[in-house]
Structure 1
């Protein structure tokens, strides 16, 4: 029975963790800025404080981690083994009888942990953060309207509604309310009531204004109607920012809720596939993270010389190819060209077969003529694109 080389595994794992966390930080920063820029107008419009802004950033993190974790894991593996290959450590390990298969356990461990974190992010953190983001948005929208209503001042904080309040109590109750409802320009309505209160319906995505014991005045052709009421409800729907919009509500659902909703709607419903695609995608991405980690070490060891660092460009290309294939699979599943379940898992199957093939070839030191020609063409292209440094006083020959 062979002894487990714990020292080797610890060393390899330590070498991978540093670039993993560095790549995770850089990728999250890039994705965060790309997601934050479209929200700046909404953030300034809502008047977010530092605390609310920090909460928005925290709620955005799970959706970023869903894509950054797999890529950071792959880059961590590639960068670590590229550094070791460039310092001839891989050659030394092979010379001492340690082949690719004996280097795999630390990579398997890192890939498994990354896949588990991605699964928790997709199935637990994203639904909770989506719900929390919606609740925060409606709270901020209600607070903005309440703060915009000032005593003895006409307020236009509500869309297509002009509001005048004589007094605002400490508990945000209103006294002496005059309201002009202009949502129907042909039949405007004027409402007067001695008191009222504003409420936010988070589930219904709307703001409700309740008035008591007042009168409603409206013009019908050439006549004016006056209606006395005991309670009057004015419901105003709110549209969330595009970055927060989730018309189907699938991002805030758990896995069981997605399956139950799809089963309740039935295959004939237009949103049936939407919920099932979300269900499968949350499982496909964690499995893909594990496969990409395994592919990373193989791509690194494809270099024919230690100083031929092709792992990073090949890794980026493979990562892009994976998500392009996943997007194509989703499109085919939505269009009905392929069965939904097999279509969603097709990218993982293709990359798993490709990873096993390359791993076996690399471990046995077998050649790949078509792959070698591709790598040679890519290497030649990189050399042509690489700038040449010439001394300032060196002249070109005539």
Structure 2
């Protein structure tokens, strides 16, 4: 009977988990798409291209979302069982709360293993492919679409303006380009006509001016140059704000690379580029977040029993609020560890230990019927305040 019960609970946990991960991941990826919309609008990307980009971003977000989804699944499942009096019936049949632990424990272990896989290998794989794919799309598919009578600042330090624009042929009329990429030097190009085109093989954007002038201002000195033909070449990768295919931060590296950076000599170039403190914080973060699936799952089970009788919508809000508390404490720990106020071990593992201790206390209270129906007590106190 217990095996059948555990199988039923595990299936319900999986169903809620899939729904939670799908909704949360969809919202985050849509938000990421809105952040990249200006960059992606100039590229001829199809649905499959966008799906590929989102696939590469998924492991990065899963590391953060798995603990939330795990806690939501356990909390909502056992809140429903408690509200429907299933837990009361099981207890009357001789099944204790401790005997129900194998299903959420196994579920939390599966989520933790998935989180560790994403943390150790999936995150770096996804971010490396995301950068390579995005740089490749920009270099091979970008076509700068200018709007007539509007200043365009897609390229950092450059301002484009054209009075008339034909984006089909790339021809521009009455063109003005201002270049402020060099310090203390401003260059302005003015021409009655120009042509803009993409050199995909070289990964450049070419602007060919005709019969114009170049104004170069350095300090108080102004140079003016007349030309019959002049070409401006711009690297398309600059549209990514300096992102390159091989540039990565500690938060995007594999676990093995982080271990290698931590053991690098203090006078090495890697140690100068990536401070050991941030590397140490990232290593503990990669372990603490996946194992939080187990911790939050164990915390959610007795919490659902304590708040039995709560409606599902309020239970969802409560569980999200508890997740917010956990991530606020975790973010505070990351900040304190990076600032050197607390050791990374203490700062990043304290939220897990705190929720594990509170969850263990709630579990003991719920098993021994000492927690009471907290929701009913709160409602009773609220009613007394109204009648007072």
- The answer to whether the superposition gives a TM-score over 0.5 is yes
Worse-superposed segment, 119-128 or 41-50? 41-50
Give the CA deviation at 1:380. Answer: 6.5
Q: Given the alignment of the two structures, is residue 142 of structure 1 paired with residue 154 of structure 2, yes or no?
A: no
Q: In structure 1, what is the Cα distance between the partners aligned to 2:84 and 2:376?
A: 21
Which of the numbers 14, 19, 23 marks the counterpart of 1:17? 14
Give the CA deviation at 1:68. Answer: 2.3
Q: Given the alignment of the two structures, is residue 256 of structure 1 paired with residue 247 of structure 2, yes or no?
A: no
Q: In structure 1, what is the Cα distance between the partners aligned to 2:62 and 2:306?
A: 29
Q: In structure 2, what is the Cα distance between the partners aligned to 1:263 and 1:78?
A: 41
Q: Given the alignment of the two structures, is residue 338 of structure 1 paired with residue 335 of structure 2, yes or no?
A: no
TM-aligned CA distance change 1:65 to 1:33, over 3 Å: same
Partner of 1:65: 62
Task: Give RMSD over aligned pairs.
Answer: 4.2
Q: Given the alignment of the two structures, is residue 99 of structure 1 paired with residue 96 of structure 2, yes or no?
A: yes
TM-aligned CA distance change 1:79 to 1:186, over 3 Å: closer
Structure 2 alignment gaps of length 5 or more:
145-152, 161-176, 189-198, 207-215, 224-232
TM-aligned CA distance change 1:97 to 1:341, over 3 Å: same
Q: TM-score if structure 1 supplies the norm length?
A: 0.69
Partner of 2:228: none
Q: In structure 2, what is the Cα distance between the partners aligned to 1:324 and 1:103?
A: 30
| 3-state SS of 1:301 partner | helix
Which of the numbers 321, 328, 332 marks the counterpart of 1:328? 332
Which of the numbers 78, 84, 93 marks the counterpart of 1:81? 78
Give the CA deviation at 1:61. Answer: 1.4
TM-aligned CA distance change 1:334 to 1:247, over 3 Å: farther
Kept in 2, the 8 Å contact 1:59–1:133? The answer is yes
Give the CA deviation at 1:19. Answer: 1.6
| 3-state SS of 1:48 partner | coil
Which of the numbers 315, 319, 334 marks the counterpart of 1:315? 319
Cα shift readout 1:293-330 (whole Å, capped 9, x = no counterpart): 11111111003x64666643432222111100000101
| Bigger Cα Rg | 1
Partner of 1:355: 359
Q: In structure 1, what is the Cα distance between the partners aligned to 2:323 and 2:379?
A: 17
Partner of 1:229: none
Cα shift readout 1:128-184 (whole Å, capped 9, x = no counterpart): 010001101211222146x67xxxxxxx9987699xxxxxxxxxxxxxxxxx99655
Q: Which has the higher contact order (CA 8 A, sep 6+)?
A: 2
| 3-state SS of 2:327 partner | helix
Structure 1 alignment gaps of length 5 or more:
149-155, 163-179, 189-195, 201-206, 210-218, 224-232, 385-398
TM-aligned CA distance change 1:280 to 1:245, over 3 Å: farther
Q: In structure 2, what is the Cα distance between the partners aligned to 1:239 and 1:308?
A: 49
Q: In structure 2, what is the Cα distance between the partners aligned to 1:83 and 1:10?
A: 16
TM-aligned CA distance change 1:376 to 1:316, over 3 Å: farther
Q: In structure 2, what is the Cα distance between the partners aligned to 1:72 and 1:222?
A: 62
Partner of 2:108: 111
Partner of 2:165: none
